[in-house]
Chain A
Amino acid sequence: MAACIQRLDRAMFSIRLLRNVQLHNERSLSTSLHRLALDTEQPSKFTPPVKPVIIDKTQSVASLRKFLSPEFVPPRQRTKPIKFTIERKDMIRRRKVLNIPEFYVGSILAVTMTDPHATGKNNRFVGICIQRGGRGLGATLVLRNIIDNQGVEICYEMYSPRVQQIEVLKLEKRLDDNLMYLRDALPEFCTVDTDMKPQPSSPTGEVPVNKTRVRMLPKPWSKRWERPKYDVKGIRFDLCLSPEQLEHAQKWAQPWVEYDMLKEYDTSKLEEDIYTELQQEAAAAK
């Protein structure tokens, strides 16, 4: 950097020489004087200027939380485990090429996908994640946004080769695992600014839980969200339904289901094994 400046100075000096002969004499005199003056002093050591430290806030640091993506955990099935091990290998291979960050239902994401018919061949969509479905390589992610007063939901397959980039603009959790009720909520709860800048989040510590309870449009809804089988905690039922209606909805409650041991599927051990396997793969890759 300093060398460039020195060269530039010399170039400027030579240009001025060519332009003005008078100046040249003066200059040479002045520079020679300057040089003479410099020689009498102690030769100062050349100190290069301080390099500016660039903090790249746009690039997100890999999270240090213990997080296992839900698509790695196989469901309760009769298939042989070798199918899941082979699938996991393919998923890891894809993740080495495309970084799928940690995110939850309720976070705001931006996904760029190849589109042969779009200008610039890529298509970027920003939205709030309302559902994470599928297991294995077919894992999907539904993003919802409202564009020009029209609600738009796009379901992306995370491991598809068409997906170029998945960016988390805002990392947060919500009160539910499935935000399909946003379809029947007021539009203000689903609109996400398309030019939103990624908000930095700390890689350690708890993920912030957004406890907003959503206000709904008048009934009829796409699903009867007040019924206990959906177990929705993020809707302000007191504003849209009367106590009699809520009581009527409780008729469909099945209180024995939580005690039914046949329906229990304990994935803790499986999750731990898969997590250690992924850590080993990541360490081996490095």
Chain B
Amino acid sequence: MRLTLQLLISHGRVARRIGLGPESRINILRNILTGLVRHERIETTTGRADEVRFYAEKLIDYAKKGDTDEKAMKMASFWLTEKDLVPKLFKVLAPRFETQSKDYTRMARLPARMNLDRAKMAVLEYKGNPYPPLSPIRKENELTLINQLLKAYREERSQLFAAKT
């Protein structure tokens, strides 16, 4: 006999509760996704960024099918509220990710918003965007002891190999 309501148990539910209800959730995610496609790097709250990530990658999968595909065009026109971004999706973003099959987006955390709500913020971007990278590229310091020893070892190895042949 069921002792708790299904509403109170969320086993296996994958959709986060955002906004006022399911329609509101989809509208909010749609707006964020449109912003992401326009600017290719946006800041939102962590939860919304995590939800939009899934939809952003699925939208790219649909875009890869090509703009002649009816379903892909319907999806694109539904999810992108600004219709001038539909050609950008099919002609710029889809060819960019042609070689990859997954992981088109990158999410990084930011310091919390300074407003009253102190919400956890995250930045979400499509890979291959024109901006400078989110995390600076760490260059290995060649002048450390271990790196110098490894460099010498590699040179010796290559000399031995050259001497053998």
Chain B residues in the interface with A (C-beta under 8 A):
12, 14-15, 22-23, 26, 54-55, 58-59, 62, 74-75, 78-79
Q: Is the CB of A262 within 8 A of B74?
A: no
Least Cβ–Cβ distance between A255 and chain B, in angstroms: 9
Cα–Cα distance between A69 and B59 once the two chains are bound (Å): 32
Q: Is the CB of A256 within 8 A of B23?
A: yes
Q: Which of B12, B22, B55 contacts A78 (CB 8 A)?
A: B12
Chain A residues in the interface with B (C-beta under 8 A):
77-78, 254, 256, 259-262
Cα–Cα distance between A78 and B14 once the two chains are bound (Å): 12
Chain B hits for A77, CB < 8 A: 12
Cα–Cα distance between A261 and B55 once the two chains are bound (Å): 7
Q: Which of A254, A256, A259, A260 contacts B74 (CB 8 A)?
A: A259
Chain A hits for B74, CB < 8 A: 259
Chain A hits for B62, CB < 8 A: 261
Q: Is the CB of A259 within 8 A of B75?
A: yes
Cα–Cα distance between A238 and B55 once the two chains are bound (Å): 39
Q: Which 9 A-B pairs have the closest CB atoms?
A: A261-B58, A259-B78, A256-B26, A262-B15, A256-B23, A261-B55, A259-B75, A262-B14, A260-B26
Least Cβ–Cβ distance between B22 and chain A, in angstroms: 7
Least Cβ–Cβ distance between B154 and chain A, in angstroms: 45
Q: Is the CB of B23 within 8 A of A261?
A: no
Chain A hits for B54, CB < 8 A: 261-262
Least Cβ–Cβ distance between B37 and chain A, in angstroms: 15
Chain A hits for B78, CB < 8 A: 256, 259
Chain A hits for B79, CB < 8 A: 259
Cα–Cα distance between A79 and B24 once the two chains are bound (Å): 32
- Closest B residue by C-beta to A261: B58
Q: Is the CB of B55 within 8 A of A254?
A: no
Cα–Cα distance between A78 and B54 once the two chains are bound (Å): 18
Chain B hits for A254, CB < 8 A: 22-23
Q: Is the CB of B22 within 8 A of A256?
A: yes
Cα–Cα distance between A177 and B66 once the two chains are bound (Å): 32
24 contacts between A and B (CB under 8 A): A77-B12, A78-B12, A254-B22, A254-B23, A256-B22, A256-B23, A256-B26, A256-B78, A259-B26, A259-B74, A259-B75, A259-B78, A259-B79, A260-B26, A261-B54, A261-B55, A261-B58, A261-B59, A261-B62, A261-B75, A262-B14, A262-B15, A262-B54, A262-B55
Least Cβ–Cβ distance between B71 and chain A, in angstroms: 10
Cα–Cα distance between A17 and B2 once the two chains are bound (Å): 89
Least Cβ–Cβ distance between A135 and chain B, in angstroms: 15
Chain B hits for A256, CB < 8 A: 22-23, 26, 78
